[in-house]
Amino acid sequence: MNFEEQIQKATNLIKHAKKVVVLTGAGISTPSGIPDFRSAGSGLWKKFNPMEVASIGAFHQNPNRFYEWVRPLVQKILDAKPNSAHIALAELESKGYIDAVITQNIDNLHQVAGSKNVLEVHGHIREINCAIDGSIPKCSKCGSGSLKPNVVLFGEMLPAQVMIEAEKAVDEADLILVAGSSLEVSPISEMPHRVVLHGKKIIVVNLQDTYIGSKADVVIQRNVVDVLPKIAEFMRR
């Protein structure tokens, strides 16, 4: 099946689905200049030990080191702009083809692009701006505690209410579109498997193989910025 045929098949699945949920990972934001965590050679965890800089224990033990690590990343996020893949998903949602976007990303780019129903299972950095100036924000109530950005660090639970909404969206969907996620981080990685168990449809758009690929209805191993805008274009026809 060539690229055009893959796009056409994906488009037909989306058009005939009653409820479509999109699951996005770092691969949708790397084209906007935001580094991911696990890519060979360039992933952030190739340069840093996550348990030393991005765990809740490390944060409590040495918040200075956490902020030294996170400031450059946050600056890249603040400088980033939504790419054509984010914009394509927002367009599909505005036209009623997508019901929800479940994202593992903390960068807010889906919302900036125009997506409305975004479930941020790993939190976000919208309350971190005050930490960019080189200081560590302190709690105004106790005066000594270090404030933590509203992101999920290693060792923390995912936000309960967001997870309830995400699981409900997946269970109610008859099609899930995985876009730019390697599906390696639990429990989000398990969501496509739940879809398969219920006999529903899956589209996977990711540069690398994923564990669910053999069970997916369409697998497109290309960059999301090449695929999602093309799907949006076919949907306009």
Catalytically active residues, by annotation: 122
CA 139, chain centre distance (Å): 29
3-class secondary structure, 6: helix
CB 205 within 8 A of CB 230: no
Place of tokens 């770092």: 26
206, HSE (Cβ side, Cα atoms, 13 Å): 25
- In DSSP terms, 178 is beta-bridged to 23, 204
Do the bridges between strand 218-220 and strand 201-205 make them parallel or antiparallel, or are there none, so unpaired? parallel
Dist. CA 136–CA 132, nearest whole Å: 9
